[in-house]
Amino acid sequence: MTDTIALDRRHVWHPFTQAQTAPEPLAVTHGKGVSLFTEDGREILDLISSWWVNLHGHAHPAIAGAIAEQAHRLEQVIFADFTHAPAARLATRLAEVLPGDLDRVFYSDNGSTAVEVALKLAWQYWRNKGEGQRRRFLAFEGSYHGDTFGAMAAGVGSGFYEPFHDLLFAVDRMPYPTTWDDDPEVEAKEAAALEWLDRWLAANGAEMVAVIIEPLVQGASGMRFCRPEFLRAMAARVRAAGGLVIFDEVMTGFGRTGALFASAKAGVAPDLICLSKGLTGGFLPLSVTACGASIYEAFLGAGFDRAFAHGHSFTANPLGCAAALASLELTTSAETAANLARIEARHRAAIADLSNHPKLSRGRVMGTIAAIEVTDAQGYTAVVGQTLKRFFLERGLLLRPLGPVIYLLPPYCVTDGQLDHAYAAIRDAADTLL
């Protein structure tokens, strides 16, 4: 046991881990591109982008250089009463690339806090407008929005929050028409979900604050896809009833679905959008909640009572903003566009092949996200997920199944050979393990 592991075991509490039964964590010394290198000499291909944050590969020199340069100028300043160039430039750049009129940026620290900001903004917006009767939020079965209390309330349908149920505010949940390649029932599922929404809006539309959704892909509940047609129909109905539309693009933003944002891919501009994970290319914690002028101006007034009284110590941290600017430049480059298309094409060919295996089903691809399910296995806690994770790790692959769902979400620098290695391991697992 290395010193790192011994100290970790003595003092560290890991996320989403049962410490009593978990194996020893792997001590990583450094990373380069898609690879992570451990103290015991192993090279592991990070094909889930380290919880979906790493866009361009580990230790990318352009982002590392931008952080280093900024660190020699200004590492942090209180963002109440002050500003700085990286924050102003990043907000301007995001306003240029975000869909619709989302040109006002509120900074926070991570995906969960970006969601908290969106929920609080939506709630206070209606009170500032004199519509205090709007008290109902709507979310989706299976949705996950983070682990702070507002985010948990919105994502209670994910099933992760039973110990905290009594502390969460009420959020109504509608059916989610999850689909996959060649799904013969997708239209029927969408029609049923929209019929449910029509009934709910008829009864509750005048009290609606907002709907929140992970557009096109529910991540943590198993890379569950919905179609752009459904997203557009849902948003149109909510807006017709006067509600706000919140898109949680914490995972889907910055190219993951094949477009810069899932909202752009679907042709829907939300009223509020939440961004994090890939925002800094995986280097530093930073998040954004963006809205348009109509929401921003509802908070203006002579008294502080209309202001948005929310903030974080490291709001708009200059190092994070510098990293995000460098990452966004890489993300919008022609090279990245070519990589996104190449990865998606590789995914589609491989998933189509694996879908013929009797132990695998419901294959699906969107941009750099590929997923396939173990046939007849059920639920996030399915034992097969842990068994598969160990199997892949022994072959030098960081693939972390979501229960029975095997998925790939690699950095954009992944090579065809690395993807082929991963898909060969998935087939080997289906042949010998399942």
Judge whether 311 is annotated as a binding position: yes
Integer-rounded Cα radius of gyration of the chain: 22
User: CB–CB of 220/179 below 8 Å?
Assistant: no
User: CB–CB of 274/289 below 8 Å?
Assistant: yes
Cα–Cα distance between 318 and 323 in angstroms, integer? 9
Cα–Cα distance between 85 and 73 in angstroms, integer? 11
Judge whether 35 is annotated as a binding position: no
Closest-CA residue to 119 (of 95, 153, 143): 153
Judge whether 400 is annotated as a binding position: yes
Phi, psi of 118 (to 5 degrees): -60, -45
Judge whether 312 is annotated as a binding position: yes
Judge whether 14 is annotated as a binding position: no
Judge whether 144 is annotated as a binding position: yes
- Sign of the dihedral defined by the CA atoms of residues 49, 50, 56, 58, in that order: negative
Bridge partners (DSSP) of residue 287 are: 108
Q: Which amino acid is at 290?
A: A
Closest-CA residue to 48 (of 226, 278, 376, 364): 278
Q: Which amino acid is at 331?
A: T
User: CB–CB of 28/37 below 8 Å?
Assistant: yes
Q: Where are the beta strands (DSSP E) in 241-292?
A: 244-248, 272-275, 287-291
* Tokens linked to 341: 């298309």
Binding-site positions for pyridoxal 5'-phosphate read 111-112, 248, 312-313
Binding-site positions read 51, 111-112, 144, 248, 277, 311-313, 400
Binding-site positions for substrate read 51, 144, 277, 311, 400
